[in-house]
Structure 1
């Protein structure tokens, strides 16, 4: 009872249906109307019309101008309603105040899409913003999609469509280019014609009033002509849409981006350290990493990376091996490699042995491999063949400088043959630097034709290699199978957290006390240091006596978060007299600096020997574009001085938590340095995941810090808390004000695990199961599930037999388990095996939304031992519930004609079946 799941992420099938992609009317229109077409020389309207008719795109062009009967000799129409044919694309080039009325007329005439090149909108301030809102209102009354306003337009070089007012047409190629700057578009266009760079699409998107990054990334992701996507970004717009689209497409098509404005637009005065440490540009970097987008810092690198990633694979690691005939360029390349985050590969012993047998005795005997200035083509090719097999190398850079014995052209020819002969591993890229002028050009051309990117200087090549590794590292972080944390009884304690937040709101407070903050942390399984509240000196002494000396006294206040700023912390108190002195000192200091009304007493805690571990910080604050963001790094009192931190977007899993840790300098120490034992990194991962869960599930939290989080060296114990190697020594939480409505609370940029779709159920044989959304941690369970499928189930699923090894390959599994819940929903039937106690998956149902429309395709597959027990019907019913909740309007599936059981299930839940000789299509409108 299986249906074939024909998603483009499944390499077996291609379900690209361009006729159902609404943006096709923009890039492949059959009819185009130019509203504002003109005969006036130099006008935008004339240039648009001329570009369309002088670059035949296979369609019809209609000028629209109420003042002329013809424009450039072509019959003109007074308005869009008079155009005799249905219009796919309207290009609007009239004064800004006229555009809302024109958009209304386009909607009434059934125009599918529009490009508004007119300026005078939000870039001029409030009046322009009001005009944009009027346009959007009119467009939403129909299905009109809009690019712009204030844009250059769009080109499809493969069809000849030039719907821009640029002076020239781009060459056809395989790079999809999107820019928010029209001026930059014209500069890039001029450059591309000089450099012979071609494009699959050339898009200026202007203000992004309607069509945004996500729409265009999905479109180019589906476009067979596009091999890579290059973006010039000024603002991200709909962050969630961008991340969703980029994460899906970047796995198969590199997305390279340059973002204007790296200057720090950091958070202003904040109640938390995290708020002071997170800047918008750093959050953007975190967002790009999370979606697999490669950010570069120079315009030239945009296209270099597009070319390189189209020709060469991403490396599996940062280690580069260099082969050079001159020591100087090798040293220069090494400097740039290390500076930019790469590493020199350490040559394996067998590689050195082979090189000793091949090269002159004076070769460098190290990496870079200096094969000396008299190196001939054969020496280069033999060295490459040896190095290609080195297991320690993740990439190879070939460097050639013209010298008396050098033949750049013949060396390139022999290297081309050597590369084919050497069978270079699939994940080991090869780059080349042919230094010199005209004498090396022929060799460069040979290498480029062979798919080996060439660079004029070795520093450029090493920079590009480190970008390639960064891209590989980012994607690996997204799609590396995480570990599911062990279940803990009573965690999270959501009722406790809700009670604390409600109590604070009822009291009109947004700042929680340290005790309340720690209770919330403990409610999510984050270990906290035991504390005792004291409202008097005597109570403080009593607390200290019960805890044991030495102790720490900290201010207890409902209004002050940074206690050290007001003298609110006293450390290493050894006896009762010291405790009494500390209590009085804190009270007096607070009274003098901010007023006694801010003093509620103190908390008394055991004194931790911080020298037996590290002080870390974990926190969350709000970014105006991405909502809640997470921070991890080195903590303590000087946290804002050293600023050693990493930023990430929630939610986290164990892999993403480790990647976050790896981005900091303190991570090196956490692994163990200078004789010190490492900290429990697995426990720290687990704590970060729990903290992320807290942020995801508690949207009333505006800012939160754990500073310091004390991480003890493994093997050390402390009498005050022997069970935990991690302790939150301090915690502060700031809430959103209670007058906000829940729908006004900031939303996460990445949709978290949809717990609302978890349901219990019992199948016919009495087995209790849970139907729930799939998660990345399920990959091992899905592998075991596939082992339970018969050949018939596999055949019905894919319309042909597929080997088990193909079905369970990680590259395939990650596409099925690592899903974007905004775009796709997969429900699994999960049970615990009563004999082994292990989790098992019995069935998988999947719903995938088509790009740009409110339609989806579904698939369903049930383990053979559990077929005909009602499981398939229940999961399909749950998928329909999900679809309605996600506002899907239509669901379809293709079913094998012999799969009668699946056809019956579809009919049972309301699908219509359309039968043909070789296919049954199931359709339901919701």
Structure 2
């Protein structure tokens, strides 16, 4: 199939060099089809086929026939006045999209015939698949097999359908058609779709896409986020989710899109039981919903709790800038609403901005003496529109105000409409400043405030019926803004790193040898001492521990170590030692050590089995009252893979449940943010005369633990360090436990792929210049802008972008997806000149979302580096990476005037051919298995 760009652009545009453009989406035929066939079309009253045809015709009519509809039904000659065909094969033109409303058993055959007709996509409205159990699942697999053979993308089955109001497409059986707009809504529930649709029509909210995704047999969240992220009509993406499905696909797509377009999710199932009883404390603490929450934070997705919050956040983000801090300033003419809003701010995780002294002085000049002189700024019940406006102008210049909420409660002398008119110009007055401040409003009341609400909404100031809801929305958006900052963190995992071991073995080598021995012995849990050896390999400090098989050995070890000591059960089978009397603390003599050995042995024999006793460990006794007991742990989530847990530890860890979850790998910034989410974090900073903990050192320990979990994820199912004793004197693991995965289980995948440092390579060019090839990082956006600036006018016009001018917003929007793309989707390599540390060239391998074995190649080299062999070195390194990534084919579309690029591709085995749609373009393909 041809992959041409529009001919009008090809004269000035070389698609092989514009690395900011994604491959053409396979979902275009779903949202903007030219020819639509409805299999199961009918005029029978009350039928889905009739409603669907009616919706397609009426929607198409509203935009002056953007597409052609073909009814398919062997029993009819016409439907709704349109000629009806017996089969798809009878339709005289190509078909982009087929909508299927026939019984489930017929769907595989319809898809088979669609493939023969070279249909691009299908929406399967029909129910009767996986929701019916194994027979339905088998039928669904058959549908997917036929679709895969024909390269057909499938939405559904068991869905309401798809709308694109801006295009006039209503391929649903809903009773109404959504208004055109800039919000994309995706729902796993058809009933939720219809409810939201009714609500949106009442509130006059429009959509760029309205999708019922059904059972996600093929097209999933990640596919839709990828498409909508590149859709110019979509400004924000709203999701109602019940199950995430392909978690890695969702996260990788969201990571690429969230910085440029808000993604807001409401997910059902918060109150489901967390996980089944787990072997470790971490396993019992880390419920699946907690994992989902952590994953959303990591990729910048905003999670909300209610449908109203979903749209409130979307409207604010669509109309106002994101806050740059968490300080909200409230202006109100009534005390009660101000107090309620203040409570809501604190509970939701933001804060009340503190008025600067200069701000108070300015407000004293324009407000009555009785004004509140604090935040909330109570302008009193008789405040005029002019008083509101002057107050807003003053507080927006206060450096502590990161957002402003204006509350109006109608009183006898209140001019709700006049106040709105005075405030409307402020919606954009500060938008271009270096520190834009979002404005929210709450016009409380009934009919008397409606005109004012309309004025504010039209001006771009989002309004709320209740001020506490506005305050919570600000706090939610501020939290999401903080999460977006994390997107610029690039954790690097250096596999097999050596931690200066005398043996020269890597940490992973040492750990795997221990775990292999345990598995050979048919054990799925390491002993405490083995667990500490694994931690020590990753330079996580552990208390001195000696394994002793006899009471005499234990006494001698204690004498040598020095008192006081701890004696613990050493067992390959018993996990929680205290449950069987296996821990004796604060022992101060050799005889007491011997007695403890015998007591533990007797207790284990009585409460468990004699063979569960394999001696004891003798450890230094550390005074836990000199610090804080922390738990640092990991468990495997079935959807998101390994998790890292940090929180309050000790014997009451599951009672306090003070914990935070993160997705490895972590760097120091991510580790700090993880720790900040807990209550114990504040204590670690120093309270009640206690000196603060060395937080930098603690952050390093968390990072090493994260690296350990990332490297050993194929071996470790759960891990606890509890307690990790943390004080101003030391950070030391007092107890540890590692549970192993079964060899038969498929190894889990990290939900967030680490930065692929293994692809970094230095080379020397013909000129003698040294360059470093490395994968792009999120923080490279400024470097990329400078690279663009150094391209010649000719390069930009003829072979890169269609315009030399690239304004700040356009550059940000284009580059953000490239710099922040998940490495599983996009390998973008930079050639960095090691002399000036600037970019000399960019090469991109972007996988096609529905064909992960196929990638699109883009390559552009700075003018002053052309002809020096950089392109050849780039290609050589890229081909090596492509093989390591499991790619099978690489495709490029090249302007036929670009002889240098074509010659380079041919040298590396690419087969070229003329493009069918545009003679100015050449197709180039490489099968990696052929070279």
- Give TM-score, length-normalised by structure 2: 0.89
Contact conserved, 1:827 with 1:845, CA < 8 A, in 2?
yes
CA distance in 2, matches of 1:803, 1:220: 26
Equivalent in the alignment of 1:735: 740
CA distance in 1, matches of 2:844, 2:444: 53
List alignment gaps of at least 5 residues for structure 1: 717-724
Equivalent in the alignment of 2:473: 464
Equivalent in the alignment of 1:709: 724
Contact conserved, 1:914 with 1:920, CA < 8 A, in 2?
no
Equivalent in the alignment of 2:353: 345
Equivalent in the alignment of 1:875: 874
- Give TM-score, length-normalised by structure 1: 0.90
Number of matched residues?
A: 896
Q: How does 1:749-898 map to 2 (within 5 A)?
A: 749-754=751-756, 757-758=759-760, 771-775=773-777, 779=780, 791-792=790-791, 796=795, 817-828=819-830, 845-849=843-847, 852=850, 854-861=854-861, 870-884=869-883, 885-887=885-887, 889-892=889-892
Q: How does 1:692-707 map to 2 (within 5 A)?
A: 692-698=706-712, 699-707=714-722
Residues 324-347 of structure 1 show CA distances to partners (whole Å, capped at 9, x for unaligned) of 111111111111111111100111
Contact conserved, 1:807 with 1:813, CA < 8 A, in 2?
no
Q: State the shift of 1:908 in Å.
A: 4.0
Contact conserved, 1:553 with 1:604, CA < 8 A, in 2?
yes
Equivalent residue for 1:45, pick from 45, 49, 53: 49
CA distance in 2, matches of 1:901, 1:38: 57
Equivalent residue for 2:261, pick from 221, 228, 253: 253
Report the 3-state secondary structure (helix = DSSP H, G, I; strand = E; otherwise coil) of the residue aligned with 1:141: helix
Q: State the shift of 1:849 in Å.
A: 3.7
CA distance in 2, matches of 1:751, 1:108: 38
Q: Does 2:535 align with 1:526?
A: no
Q: State the shift of 1:862 in Å.
A: 6.5
Equivalent in the alignment of 1:368: 376
Equivalent in the alignment of 1:681: 695
Q: State the shift of 1:644 in Å.
A: 0.5
Equivalent in the alignment of 1:199: 207
Provide the aligned C-alpha RMSD in A: 3.4
Q: Does 2:27 align with 1:23?
A: yes
Residues 177-204 of structure 1 show CA distances to partners (whole Å, capped at 9, x for unaligned) of 1111111211221222221111111111
Contact conserved, 1:528 with 1:729, CA < 8 A, in 2?
yes
Contact conserved, 1:213 with 1:236, CA < 8 A, in 2?
yes
Equivalent residue for 2:306, pick from 298, 302, 308: 298
Equivalent in the alignment of 2:143: 135
Q: State the shift of 1:772 in Å.
A: 4.3
User: CA distance change for structure 1 residues 775 and 254 in 2, over 3 Å: closer, same or farther?
Assistant: closer
Residues 382-425 of structure 1 show CA distances to partners (whole Å, capped at 9, x for unaligned) of 11111111111110001111223321111111122355556665
CA distance in 2, matches of 1:77, 1:539: 90
Q: State the shift of 1:904 in Å.
A: 5.8
Q: State the shift of 1:828 in Å.
A: 4.5
CA distance in 2, matches of 1:543, 1:752: 43
CA distance in 1, matches of 2:923, 2:171: 39
User: CA distance change for structure 1 residues 843 and 673 in 2, over 3 Å: closer, same or farther?
Assistant: farther
Residues 715-743 of structure 1 show CA distances to partners (whole Å, capped at 9, x for unaligned) of x3xxxxxxxx3212211111112344xxx
CA distance in 1, matches of 2:117, 2:840: 51
Contact conserved, 2:42 with 2:50, CA < 8 A, in 1?
yes
Of 655-664 and 475-484, deviating more is: 475-484
User: CA distance change for structure 1 residues 446 and 93 in 2, over 3 Å: closer, same or farther?
Assistant: same
Equivalent in the alignment of 1:489: 500
Residues 551-574 of structure 1 show CA distances to partners (whole Å, capped at 9, x for unaligned) of 111111111121112111111111
Q: State the shift of 1:356 in Å.
A: 2.0
Equivalent in the alignment of 1:637: 651
CA distance in 1, matches of 2:700, 2:806: 33
Q: State the shift of 1:286 in Å.
A: 1.0
Equivalent in the alignment of 1:157: 165
User: CA distance change for structure 1 residues 843 and 167 in 2, over 3 Å: closer, same or farther?
Assistant: closer
CA distance in 2, matches of 1:107, 1:92: 14
Report the 3-state secondary structure (helix = DSSP H, G, I; strand = E; otherwise coil) of the residue aligned with 1:199: strand
CA distance in 2, matches of 1:7, 1:188: 43
Q: State the shift of 1:755 in Å.
A: 5.3
Contact conserved, 1:166 with 1:186, CA < 8 A, in 2?
yes
User: CA distance change for structure 1 residues 809 and 800 in 2, over 3 Å: closer, same or farther?
Assistant: closer
List alignment gaps of at least 5 residues for structure 2: 1-11
CA distance in 2, matches of 1:474, 1:198: 27
Contact conserved, 2:56 with 2:69, CA < 8 A, in 1?
yes
Of structures 1 and 2, the one scoring higher in RCO (CA 8 A, sep 6+) is 2
Equivalent residue for 1:222, pick from 227, 230, 238: 230
Q: State the shift of 1:80 in Å.
A: 1.9
Report the 3-state secondary structure (helix = DSSP H, G, I; strand = E; otherwise coil) of the residue aligned with 2:37: strand
Equivalent in the alignment of 1:78: 86
Contact conserved, 1:147 with 1:205, CA < 8 A, in 2?
yes
Equivalent residue for 1:545, pick from 556, 559, 564: 559
User: CA distance change for structure 1 residues 794 and 475 in 2, over 3 Å: closer, same or farther?
Assistant: farther
Equivalent in the alignment of 2:59: 55
Equivalent in the alignment of 1:669: 683
Equivalent in the alignment of 2:488: 479
Equivalent in the alignment of 2:747: 745
Residues 532-563 of structure 1 show CA distances to partners (whole Å, capped at 9, x for unaligned) of 11111111111112221111111111111211
Equivalent residue for 1:36, pick from 13, 33, 40: 40
